[in-house]
Every structure is written in C-alpha cells, then in structure tokens.
Structure 1
C-alpha cells in the first residue's frame, strides 16, 4: 500500500468515526440508540445488544476499530481505483478541515 492510500485510509477512518460518534447531524440516531439501551424499569441493569452499541458509539477509540475494519481492506483492495481515491480523499479533507477549524476557533 502506498503512503497516500494509507493516509487517506487514516483520514477516512477518523472522519467516519467522528461522523458516527460526535457530529450533530447524527445526534438523532445516537439519541434513539441511547433510548433503546436505557432499561425500561427503574433498578434494571443495562445489558444487551443496544447497550453495547450505545457504549461503542460513545467511545471513539472503540468505534474507530469497527470503522477501520472495512476501511483497511478497502484501501488494500481498491486503493488504486478512482472511486476509492475520491471517496477517501473527500473524507480525509473533511477531517483535516474540521481539525483546522477546531484549532483556529480555539484561539
């Protein structure tokens, strides 16, 4: 895998992880998952699939592993195709723009 493909895989993984776990546009989905994960009766312990998904989405480190699982093979198999390069490139540029905006807004 060439360095550009590896870097765009990194950027795509970071951007998708951020989109799922933190961006406001996906808040309604995360909110619905949190409601499914909440025990129905007071005193019940949270458990089950929806609780696991809710915890996964709340942990960027955990979520990134699951996002990278399909991104890495896609980069290896399709990294030289125009479709992969454009898609991963756009996601990487979006991630870098977000980082720059956070840095500049912090000043």
Structure 2
C-alpha cells in the first residue's frame, strides 16, 4: 500500500464515518436504528459515535483498498470522498 492509497483510505474513512454519524442525510437511518433497537441501545450508539463507527468503516475501506489496489475503481471514488471531507473541514475552519 502506497502512502497515497493510505491517505485516500483515511479520507474515505473520515468522510463515510461523518456521513453515517453526523450528517443530516443519514438522520433517517440513525432514527430507524434507534426506533428498532432503542435510543440507549448499543446499535444506536454505534451509528452516532464517530470513534465506534470508524472502526467498522475503516475495516470495509481497507478491504476495498486491498481488493482494488492500483485501480481506478478505488482511486476515483476515494479521491472524491477525501476531497469532500477536506472541503468540509476547510469550510468549518475558514467560515
């Protein structure tokens, strides 16, 4: 794994974790989990905790990276998601 691939995987992990745990677009998903398992359940905590969710997201991203190393099928979406995450961080910092 190259440094570039590692950094792209890091960006993807950050972006997907943020989407899952904080973004409004996934609020319905988080609500469904809370409705099904309860607000105080471990499942509800998992989808709202960035530290917790990132372990599972990183595992999936690593599997994709290893399966698709050196292909456009990993590089293109990974670049887009990493740039999305960095743009979000920059907008919070610069605004």
TM-score, reference length from structure 2:
0.92
Unaligned runs of 5+ in 2: none
More helix, by proportion: 2
After TM superposition, where is structure 1 displaced by more than 6 Å over at least 4 residues in a row? Answer: none
- Per the alignment, residue 25 of structure 2 pairs with 25
Return the offset for 1:77: 2.8
Unaligned runs of 5+ in 1: 40-45
Task: Please say which structure displays the higher CA radius of gyration.
Answer: 1
Distance in structure 2 (CA, Å) of the matches to 1:76 and 1:101: 31
Distance in structure 1 (CA, Å) of the matches to 2:54 and 2:6: 15
Return the offset for 1:57: 1.0
CA deviations on 1:18-63 (whole Å, 9 max, x unpaired) are 0111000111111121122228xxxxxx5xxxx2211111210010
Note the aligned Cα RMSD (angstroms). 1.4
The number of residue pairs the alignment matches comes to 95
